Structure 1
Amino acid sequence: MIDVELPKLNNNDTSYVLVEWLVDDGTEVTTGQPLVVIETSKAQEEIESPGEGVLHSLVKPGQDCRPGQVIAHVFASAEERAEFVRNGEASADAAEHDQPPASGLLITKDAQALVDEHGLSEDVLRGVGRKVIRRTDVEALLARGEPTDTAEARELPQWQRAVGAVVSESMRTIPAAAAYVRVDVDEALALGRQVSDRGGTPFGLPELLVAAVARRHAGHPLFFARLLDDGNVHIPPTADVGVTMDLGKGLFVPVVRDAAAVGAERLGELLMEYRIKALRGAFRASELTDANIMVALHNTEGVVLATPIVFPGQTCVVSLGGTEERLVLDGEGRPVASRYVHIGLVYDHRVVNGRDAMAFLQALKADLESPTVLDVAAG
């Protein structure tokens, strides 16, 4: 018998919802075959079979599940599965797969308890606008109550509630400090245009900042570290850089894995692919997990400074503000326009001290002001 164990799909979630089984109970499956669809707060992910055999599921559609939970078994034969069932060893909530109600809604067990307690109708639940109704959705409906004549109650979408949970955890657990540096970007913008022309994909300050951050992994490993409960830190072998993206479909933080080894053209292509997925809300959960540092893009015109939060499990986040212009004197004393941005660093003061933070920022500034070091081919 092989266990189908649910992996950790999203660092921000402690539970998920099983949306649907793609294979019926008692069906023969092969290694790598998609078995089930799991929904996180950010995306839906298919879980594949870890081996060959006959499927026996343990969790119904619409039920909550958690990382590490065994949601099914794969037996070597139908006879072995039948023996398992006869012996009464199957989980008490093993699923005969109930069909969803006529409304098409899937209601988790915890949510159903609240629905029954308060007598909520299917019409009310449809107002949530989600196929899978969780306990938090029902709690939000109950908290909303009846709108008054002078105020409108509005439910926050699931993704915003997930963001809120992360922000609250960050503010509660991470003693953060912040610092900023002004960076002249005329040369960086010129290099970005060259790479764009060469590769055919937009390449600008966000891509250059990701490359600059990744390049500093070897010299500043603590900025990529994860603080352990015993006061030690785990230093990852590569710079896996999360990049914030919000194009109206929610905040996503896709990850550029081993970003220091990604060539300039490929980095531009990858971030463009991520922007399209952010616009469509089409990320796989695996694309949104396990970043060890974050680049927060606040580069909308007119934004000067930004102070993002440090994600739990990370040590720092680097922010990029909008591009501004100022007049400076050239070598002959004539006024010329020069463009600059502010780069911010928010860091966990338990791991990094101010002196090291200033050195890290100065290193990023040096790379962006002499950016040819960032125009590298894939390693």
Structure 2
Amino acid sequence: MATEVKVPTLGESITEATLGEWLKQPGDDVAVDEPIASLETDKVSVEVPSPVAGKMGDYSVQVGDTVEVGAVIASIESGEGGAKSAPTPPEAKPAAKDDAAKPEKAGQQAPADGDVEAAALSPSVRRAVLETGVDPSTIKGTGKDGRITKEDVMAAAENKGAGTPAPSPAPAATPVPAPAEGGARNEERVRMTRLRQTIAKRLKGAQNEAALLTTFNDVDMTAVMEARSKYKELFEKKHGVRLGFMGFFVKAACMALKDVPAVNAQIDGDEIVYHDYADISVAVSAPQGLVVPVIRSADQMSVATIEKTIGDFGKRAKSGDLKMDEMKGGTFTISNGGVFGSLMSTPIVNPPQAAVLGLHRIEERPVVRDGQIVARPMMYLALTYDHRLIDGREAVTFLVALKNAIEDPTRILIDL
């Protein structure tokens, strides 16, 4: 007897999603509440649990299809009904059919028919495997339930030259000869994820509606770096989390937002909404792109609590466990492009917020101190803001207050 698997309720005002990947192949054993598929919504990935125990049945939709809440996406064969499909899972996986049919694009051989592990990889991971030539069976996955992520593949590719490759995979790495007419010029079309589509619409909408302007300043990181170096071991021992720079910047931003409340406000029709609290959105990296969870009432938190919250967000963003409610709201955003090496940028406001702070990489530059040219670890700060609400004077005042707090962290302790 087959039991239908339907798209669960996805959250307030969300009626549809995109099928991101199948986590189970036809014929696989499935336990009650075990995830069998991953759905991509406007904000996060949502796993679909099995309603019963049994064998994975046929798919009703393919990877990339848009599905509505309540739609049937697959079936589960209870008891022994699905046992006969177990020996042939590769032939019953329509979601991976198109990708498997075109492995020559990357110059690599397709996985063997019996390679269920390779067939179960997500589309982005399969593309990375084909492009790098890394054997997925040699990779230890860091994703949810030990699944291999794209980052795992890229890390394995970087370390590939350090070890001696096994003799057996060598033929798979042999390039396909170029056509006689000339070198191959391949193209690949990949449908945008729902998350990427939503990001594109929101960012373009912000540019079209708001009057965006960016103001820059720089900050000497000497004092914060010295404090971090001095107390990082004691901090981690006491609080169980590493002491980073974001805790300092979030606290300093909360203080500056109190001094300049317009930066923490938003426009609603013909009214301005001021907030007496600071819900700070922090951009963190996830396999499907950047996500922006919110630190609620960050102005009431200690540096240690902020660091713990950000660390938890980062872990759950990589595993896909962030909840939609955790990314709603927010009165101000901090985006740290410095972790990727960015020297300077003009971040885009996240509507309906009025401003976003961009942090960048720290590098030693010559500066003048007491009439002497010295090398100091400097960082550029960028505040992009909606000029309809925030004047240039207010933007500069905010950045100066932030700069003063970072260059003299004692101000954070005494709220000065």
Note closer, same or farther for the CA distance 1:38–1:154 as it changes in structure 2 (3 Å cut).
Answer: closer
Query: Which structure: greater helix fraction?
Result: 2
User: Do the aligned partners of 1:324 and 1:339 also contact (CA within 8 Å) in 2?
Assistant: yes
Q: How many residue pairs get matched?
A: 274
Note closer, same or farther for the CA distance 1:329–1:293 as it changes in structure 2 (3 Å cut).
Answer: closer
In the alignment, which residue of structure 2 is the partner of 1:325?
364
Note closer, same or farther for the CA distance 1:109–1:301 as it changes in structure 2 (3 Å cut).
Answer: closer
User: Do the aligned partners of 1:292 and 1:314 also contact (CA within 8 Å) in 2?
Assistant: yes
Query: For residues 96 and 46 of structure 2, what CA distance do their matches in structure 1 show?
Result: 24
Note closer, same or farther for the CA distance 1:271–1:195 as it changes in structure 2 (3 Å cut).
Answer: farther
Q: Larger deviation: 188-197 or 252-261?
A: 188-197
Pick the aligned partner of 2:242 from 189, 202, 220.
202
Q: Larger deviation: 311-320 or 160-169?
A: 160-169
Pick the aligned partner of 2:396 from 348, 358, 365.
358
Note closer, same or farther for the CA distance 1:221–1:14 as it changes in structure 2 (3 Å cut).
Answer: farther
The superposition leaves residues 319-376 of structure 1 with CA deviations (integer Å, 9 ceiling, x where unpaired) of: 0010010234665x76643101011000001000111111111111111111123358
User: Do the aligned partners of 2:247 and 2:304 also contact (CA within 8 Å) in 1?
Assistant: no
Q: Larger deviation: 173-182 or 154-163?
A: 154-163
Q: What displacement does 1:127 show?
A: 5.9
In the alignment, which residue of structure 2 is the partner of 1:32?
none
Flag structure 2 segments of 5+ consecutive residues without an equivalent. Answer: 1-8, 20-37, 49-55, 72-92, 100-121, 124-183
Q: What displacement does 1:223 show?
A: 0.8
Within-5 A mapping of 1:127-276: 150-200=186-236, 201-229=241-269, 231-276=270-315
User: Do the aligned partners of 2:348 and 2:384 also contact (CA within 8 Å) in 1?
Assistant: yes
Note closer, same or farther for the CA distance 1:302–1:258 as it changes in structure 2 (3 Å cut).
Answer: same
Q: Secondary structure at the match of 1:108?
A: strand
In the alignment, which residue of structure 2 is the partner of 1:41?
42
Pick the aligned partner of 2:377 from 339, 344, 348.
339
Q: Please report the TM-score for the alignment, with normalisation by the length of structure 2.
A: 0.58
Pick the aligned partner of 2:410 from 366, 372, 375.
372
Within-5 A mapping of 1:44-193: 102-103=58-59, 105=61, 108=67, 123=94, 150-193=186-229
In the alignment, which residue of structure 1 is the partner of 2:139?
none
Note closer, same or farther for the CA distance 1:126–1:285 as it changes in structure 2 (3 Å cut).
Answer: farther
* Same amino acid, percent of matched pairs: 21
Q: Larger deviation: 249-258 or 174-183?
A: 249-258
Flag structure 1 segments of 5+ consecutive residues without an equivalent. Answer: 1-5, 20-36, 47-60, 62-99, 113-121, 131-147
Q: Larger deviation: 172-181 or 272-281?
A: 272-281
Query: For residues 240 and 344 of structure 1, what CA distance do their matches in structure 2 show?
Result: 19
- Please tell me the root mean square deviation across aligned C-alpha atoms, in Å: 3.6
Q: Secondary structure at the match of 1:102?
A: strand
Instruction: Find out whether 1:278 has 2:317 as its counterpart.
Output: yes
Q: What displacement does 1:245 show?
A: 0.9
User: Do the aligned partners of 1:228 and 1:234 also contact (CA within 8 Å) in 2?
Assistant: yes
Amino acid at match of 2:191: E
The superposition leaves residues 175-223 of structure 1 with CA deviations (integer Å, 9 ceiling, x where unpaired) of: 1000100100110112233453233122222221111111223221111
Q: Please report the TM-score for the alignment, with normalisation by the length of structure 1.
A: 0.63
The superposition leaves residues 148-196 of structure 1 with CA deviations (integer Å, 9 ceiling, x where unpaired) of: 9643212222222221121121112111000100100110112233453
